[in-house]
Each structure stands twice: as structure tokens, then as C-alpha cells.
Structure 1
């Protein structure tokens, strides 16, 4: 698929999404359109899988009806294999395409949706979504499919005041989606996965402050992913303790040939559902990911695991309990102090450090305050550098690159086994961006500059510097980037004599103009 075709598909999906918009907020109609796309994906995956099984019988899955004598036999055989391989099951009559065509009365109009053709399918659609979940009950995939569609309220008046109105709009959306070929039979393409990511990004751009709860801009994700996969072609595990929609985890997978296992935790229930959908939709087998829903700092769900790669974009300066009981928690006990309750940034860092494997790399996006704030945060920062020597790099990013906040941010990179134990690399990438409307955007050349500088540990004037640990100690463990990367630009010298001459010339011209204006005023009988 060419880049133009890809963009055309993305625009098609966005147009369909806006059919649902009405009076809903971006994060509300997001849940519907992404849910419908996910249902279409599960259906097409099911159909391709079943057709392969039925190839010898020379029959297609969608053609198996209850009128067939062998219906029950076919269904049970395919269901058993589907639950083992796919983790879920759909009957032929429950497939997306079948429901979409029924919603249009069996026919499609090319451009205009004719309401007179509509068949009432809301009840059937609700049953299908429930049945997908029920099909996994008692199987290994049960947790991964549990309540996946719970945010799709088909009875919401925001979709229409009456059941008929809701049926009309949903039938229209299903029919338009059904016409799009996601090319799932081409295993080398991830057309649907890319389109899904595009939509998540579009919704994030319209969600304001809420966007930070579920989305890290792709360009930032790319930097984190390239850093934590440095020198590696395969990963045993990757972990994100605040995984949002799971996009950051999936971005890491693009940088290596294989990731054996994905781990994540997300507090928001809706976003947790989105993360699981995103994993499955990108072809990650249900046995290859373990996403949990709970507060990471208060109720960690993977406490016995160590991870080879860790990435995160935690909520900036979030509140947490800072309960003194945490001082007996292995994640925090060795530091002697907890991050302040009003700023959980270092609590997330401590949590991630605890889970980092000895050969692992960790990259986390944080607000600039973590570099220089005092009190408990200074104590923790000093411990990480002086006692543990885990800090590998500090990267300053431009302001206004995240949705919902314009503050400048930084990336902290940690390793338990540093190749360069005597120094910390500082990169000032704050000026490398392109202004697009109201947002600052990192282009490929900006990303490559950051990553190449990190990989090569280059020292570049006014851009990067390797600071010895003794220098950091002299700065009292203040990591503010300008202390290490000199970005001072000398102002051009001013020739005072030239400036004075120009002022005198301007004053002489002004005097001549005053005389000329005064003459005009006299002619008009006015006083200047």
C-alpha cells in the first residue's frame, strides 16, 4: 500500500468517525468508532481463520447457516480451534459484514444512506458484542476480552433520541466500514494497525487535557523506543507502568525483530480497554501481552517481574498517597524518602527502577521540575546518581509537543549496567522542532539527531555534553540542562557611533517634516 493510499484510508476512517460525532466529545465518539473497527477486525480475522479450516470442504464460513445439516458439527469444530488460536469465537451470522448488510436491508447505496432500507439491528449488535466476550469464558483469553466493549453504550441518547434514530446512524457507520478493505489476509501489512494509531492520535488532538491520559505523540514514542532497544534485535519483555492506549509498547516492537512479552498497567478503565483492543488489533497474540487495570503506585500488578525494556509517559506531577507505609515497600525503601504527595514523578521513576532488569534500559518522559526541585526529590535524585549511578542520559525536549499541556519536558534514561559509568550525557533538543499550527512537532531529522547523539554519545557544541559525575556533584545534583550544555548566543556588537549618526540623521529629517506639516496647517488656518 502506497503512502497516498494509506493517507486516503486514514481520511476515510476519520470521515466515518465524524458521522458519529454529533454532540459528543472527542473521547466519547472515539469509544464507538474504535470499538466498531475492532469488531470488524475480529470478524475478518475469524472469517479468514475459519475459511482456511474449511478449505478442504470447499465451503466458506459465512455460507454456513443453521439450515445446514452439519451446522452444529462445523460450529463446534471451528469454535474449538478458534478459542485455542485466536482466543475468541464468532458465529457466521455474527460476522461484521453480515450485520452491516442486514442493517442496510441487504443492499448498499453508493453515496446516500436510504433510511427506508434499514433493518433494526441494535439488539443483535449488542448480543454479538456480548457473545464475543462470553465465548472466552473459562479459557486462557478470558481476562483479555473481559468487558472490552463496555464503553459502547448503544442505548445512549447521544447517538439519537429514539432507538430508530440510533439504529440509523449505527447502520450507516457499519455499512461504510464494511466497504473498506483492511487487507488482513496480507500478513506483511499492518494497514488496520496503522489506521487505528492514526485515529487514536486524531482523537487525542481533540481531547485537550484528557489526551495525556491515553496518548504519547508518535514522535516522542519513537525516541523512547529507539533508546530502549539500543543494541538489541530481540526483547524478552517490554513494560509500561502507565500504558494508556498501549501505543508506546507497540512502538517499541517496531524497533526490533521480536518482543516475546508485553506488560502494562493502566488506571483508567476506558483506556485499559483501548490498550487491550490495540494489542489484539496489531496482531499481538493474547498470550503475548499482560495488561492490568489498577493504580500502578498503590497496587502494582507485576511486582515479581523484571523487564528488559521499560518505557513510560506518566501523568506529569500527579498526586499520590505518599503513605509512610510505602517506606517498607521494596520499590521505595532503599531511598529513605518518598516523592511528595503533590508530585509523583519520582515515585514512578523508583517503581520503574525496581522493575528494571540488570541488562535493561529504561526511558521515561517527565516535566523539567524533576531535574532541579529540592527536598525529597533532590534526595532521591542524589541517591540514583551518587549511590546507584543508574542515570545514563538527560534529554531536553521542546515545549508544546504534548496534547493538553505546553510545558517543556525531558527524557531520563536509566541503566543498571552503564557502559560509561563515569559520566551522564546531556542533550538540549529544545530548539529542534517545526511549528505546525498551535503545536510544535518533531520531524524525522530532529528525532534522528537526538537518537544518533545518544547512541554515539557525541559532544556537540550548544547541543550535547558528557558531564562527569564530579561535575554533577559540584552542581549539588541539579540536572538543569543549561548548567551542562552551554546554549548562550553572544549578541552582535553594537557600533555606538554609527547608531548615533543614524539617530541624528532621523532627527534632521523629522525637523524638515515638521516644517512642511506646519505650512499645511497655516494654509488651513490651524495651529500645528
Structure 2
């Protein structure tokens, strides 16, 4: 896959997204565009697979007659194979190209407002097809991964148009444009569509403002987390994200190793949960290799027995949670003796992740700086993690204003249950290492490389990183505020007092000369001197 091909596909998909930009906000048109792209992906994936099944008989899938006895036999054989290996099924007439062509034909035919059959034709067909995709998985192993997957695609929404005719026309136009794009799915080595999909998610996040934090972690931060949890590993048995958003962090981990055996995730927001499942499937993660659940992670955890080899997360910063007394006996929290405060669930997420971390695993999570120094129950939990468990491996300070929706500086907390180096904690202050791009701060590849390289080698660099002994940490009362350990103070150049005094004397002489000239002018004009 060339960079030119990637940029072209991104440009084509973004142009299609622009068909809806003026009609609704980013949070809404994201669901339509990504949903339609996903439908096209499912269709093309199945079409390629069906053609492979039929190739010994010199047939292609779209050639089959759905109404003939022979055609029905072939389609049933394809259905069984597709449900087993792909997890879903589409008939030949339900393929994306078929419905897109119908939409294109409708756009080319002049219709009047009373022609309701033509107005609703493509919408009703599309709704039926999307429902059939879900229905094809019922009672199978893939059911949980497809149930209600297209529920955010409201094809009769007034946001698409005030009339059924207008809604029909815009949907037909989108499908027609998408049908003309080659996703290159036959190239098994290419993740062209996956990269473009991630690009779109990022662009939608940029337009969604504060809401973007619910579903997207900037790619640079995702890369740092992924590289940390895969340190010196080529294969990962399991990776888990308890606040997985669109699933991008999980998929980023997979890019850093040869293989990930299983992906686990949980997401509270229903729309974002659907997006995560789509994202996994679209990146060619087989339905049998991931388990994404929808529920509140702290209140209703869905993976009780999980012990993951790698955990990555970007939890909502300082969120509220119930902190009910019943959680004091929950295995995730009971050993600490105290719960995270109701108004700051940051450490509740940390405790949850530590509980699900395997003995040989690595966990990296983004958190607000407050977790490093806040007192009360948070100080108690922090001390337990260091003094009693010695789990904290590194603290990495990131620049401010690198996340969508918030400008606060953040940090990465790295935790291991079995640390190779267990007598110190590595501190990295990367808060001043970024490039300013408009109103945002961006981490460039060299900034990422510096952070990851320093972590992996546990390097000490002046004004950048420091290894603090556990004794030092204890002397600081288990306060992990980065400036306590990494001195970034820049000394000012010494001031030459003699030179400064001479400059002042010279200025005084100039001032006296100017005053004299002004006094002379005032005398000539016969007016009072202003001093």
C-alpha cells in the first residue's frame, strides 16, 4: 500500500462525509458515514469469499438466481460457510453494489412527489438488508458481535432531509459515491481501508469537540501506550481496554506485535460500543478473537475472570462514580482499604485494571496529573501500590492540550506486577516536548521515540528523566508529582551589574538632555513646562 493510495482513499471518503456536514453535527454524520462504509466492507468481504467457494464450478456469486432451485442450493451452501467463517450472511441481491446501483438508477429517473413507491424504495430495501445481516447471526457464535450493530443508522431521520424524497436522494447519492471506491480487500497484505477508517474517526473526533474524548485517543498517545505494553514482546495472549471507545487503542497494540490472540473491551456509550465492534471487524479481526461488552466498567464489570497480558486505557478524567460501600468487599478494591472518591474515579479505574492484569503483564493508562499528588483516599491507594505492592514502574508527563475536548496536561502511569527493576520508579517529563500546530500541541514521531526509548532503556537524561529510589519516594510521602523528581529549571544568564548601572547612567543623561530641550521649547512658546 502506497502513501498515495492511502491519501487518495482518505480524500475520497472525506468528500463523501462532506455530503452530510452541512446537515448535522459531527456526532451524527459520523454514524451514517462509518455505518455505510462498514456495510460496504461486509458486502465486499462476503462477495470475495463467496466467489472463492463458487470458483470450482466456474460461477460468481452475483450470477446465482435466488429463485431457482439450483441457485437456492448454492446460496444455502454459501450461507453456511459465511456464517461459520465470516459470522454473517448476505444474499446476492443484498450486496452493497446491488443496492447502490438501484439508488443510482433512482437518482437518474425523474420522480414526482406523489410517487411514494420510488421515494421509499432504497430506504426500505436498505433497512431490510441491514436487519437481515443481524438476523443471519442469530443463534450463532457471532450473534453478540452483530446484535443491534446498525441501530444508529436512522434512515428516516429528518436530519437527512425534511421529506422522504430528500432522505432517499441523499442516501442514494452516498451509496453511489461509495460504490465507486475500491477498498482493495483482495490485497490481503493491505490495511488500506482500516487506515482510512481510523483517519475518519480522528477527523470526526476533531469536529466533535468535547464529546470526542468519549471515543477517541489521539494516535500519538495510542502509539506510546501500545509500544510500552508490548515492550520486548512479539506476541500478546490478550489485550484489554476497560474504556475502549472506538477500539482504536486495542487495534494499535496489534500493530506493535506479530499477533494478538484475543481482544477484550468494555464501553459505556451504546453508539461508541457499536463503533468499536465495527472497527474490530473492519480491521479483519475475526469475530471469535474479540469480546467487546457494553456496560459501566466500574459498576457492572463484564470480564470477571480476565487476566490480561496487556492493558491500555484512556479513562474519562476525574469522572463520577457511585463508590458504594458494597465495593469495599469487591475483589478489585477490597485489598486497598479505601475506595476512590465519588467525584474522582481515576484510581477506581486503576484498581480495576490492576485486578485484571496478569502476573507477567504490563498496563499503561492515561490519567490527569491529580492522581500523582492528591491526598486523602487517593494518597492511601497510591501508597499501597508503591509501598505494599511495588507495582508502579514509570510515570510519564505529557504536554498540555493534546487531547480533544480538554487542555489539561496528563500523564501515563505504567504498572507491572512483576517488575524487572524493582528498586526505583522512572519519571519522564515530556511536557515541553511537542510541536505547536494552530491551537493544539502535537507529539511528533521523534517525541514518541524519545519517550518510548527512554522508558525501555530506563535512561536518565538531564531535565528529561530520572530514576527515583523507593526511599526517595517514601521521603516525599509517596507524592509522585513529576517536578519533585525531574528538575527542568533553566538557569538564567548572570546579570552584569556594572553594565546595567552604566546603561542606567546613560539613560539618565539622555533623559536630562531631552528635558532641557523640552523646557527650552516651552519657554519659546511662552507656556508652562510640564515638569
Q: Specify the alignment match of 1:215 in structure 2.
A: 216
Equivalence for 1:6: 6
Task: Work out the CA distance in 2 between the residues paired with 1:372 and 1:424.
Answer: 15
What is residue 316 of structure 1 aligned with on the other side? 317
Look up the match of 1:55: 55
Q: What CA distance in whole angstroms lies between the structure 2 residues aligned with 1:379 and 1:417?
A: 21
* Alignment partner, residue 378 of structure 1: 379
Q: Within 2, Cα distance between the matches of 1:516 and 1:8?
A: 71
Structure 2: runs of 5+ lacking an equivalent: 112-117
CA contact (8 A) 1:390 1:418 kept: yes
Q: Does 1:82 align with 2:76?
A: no
User: Would you say 1:116 and 2:110 are equivalent positions?
Assistant: yes
Contact in 2 for aligned 1:115/1:168 (Cα 8 Å): no
Matched residue SS, 1:301:
coil
CA contact (8 A) 1:102 1:121 kept: yes
Distance in 2 separating the partners of 1:352 and 1:129: 36
C-alpha distance in structure 2 between counterparts of 1:516 and 1:403, whole Å:
60
The 3-state SS of whatever aligns with 1:465 is strand
Aligned pair in 2 of structure 1 residues 325, 205: CA closer, same or farther (>3 Å)? same
Decide which moves more: 354-363 or 55-64.
55-64
Equivalent residue, structure 2, for 1:98: 98
CA deviation profile, 1:272-304 (whole Å, cap 9, x unmatched): 000000000000000000000000101110011
For residue 462 of structure 1, what is the aligned residue in structure 2?
463
User: How far apart in 1 are the matches of 2:283 and 2:523?
Assistant: 83
- Which shifted more, 50-59 or 500-509? 500-509
1:283 corresponds to 2:297: no
2: CA distance, partners of 1:519 / 1:2: 78
Aligned residue in 2 for 1:109: none
Question: Offset at 1:521?
Answer: 7.5
RMSD: 1.8
Alignment of 1:291-370 (within 5 A): 291-370=292-371
1:516 Cα deviation after fit: 5.7
Residue aligning to 1:32: 32
* TM value normalised by structure 2: 0.95
Conserved? CA contact 1:62–1:92, under 8 Å: yes
| 1:77-114, Cα deviation, whole Å (9 max, x unpaired) | 100000000000011111111111110108xxxxxx75
Give, in whole Å, the separation in 2 of the partners of 1:407 and 1:93.
Answer: 52
The alpha-carbon deviation at position 327 of structure 1 amounts to 0.6
Structure 1-normalised TM-score?
0.96
Alpha carbons 2:66, 2:75 under 8 Å: kept: no
In structure 2, C-alpha distance between the alignment counterparts of 1:4 and 1:235, rounded to whole Å? 32
Correspondence for 2:114: none
Question: Match of 1:110?
Answer: none
In the TM superposition, 1:367-516 aligns within 5 A as: 367-513=368-514
CA distance in 2, matches of 1:248, 1:126: 31
For 2:393, what is the secondary structure of its paired residue? strand
Provide, for residues 401-425 of structure 1, a one-character-per-residue CA deviation record: whole Å limited to 9, x for no partner: 0000000000000011000111110
- Does the 8 A contact of 1:22 with 1:158 survive in 2? no
CA distance in 2, matches of 1:206, 1:115: 36
* 1:223-282 CA-partner distances (Å, limit 9, x unpaired): 000000011110110000000000000000000000000000001000000000000000
Asked if 2 retains the 8 angstrom alpha-carbon contact of 1:22 and 1:159, the reply is no
SS at match of 1:261: strand
Matches within 5 A, 1:86-165: 86-105=86-105, 116=110, 120-165=121-166
- Secondary structure in structure 1 of the residue aligned to 2:138: coil
2:115 corresponding residue in structure 1: none
Deviation at 1:501, TM superposition (A): 2.1
Q: CA deviation at 1:58?
A: 1.6
Residue in structure 2 matched with residue 19 of structure 1 by the alignment: 19
Contact kept in structure 1, 2:65 and 2:72, CA below 8 Å = no
Deviation at 1:23, TM superposition (A): 3.3
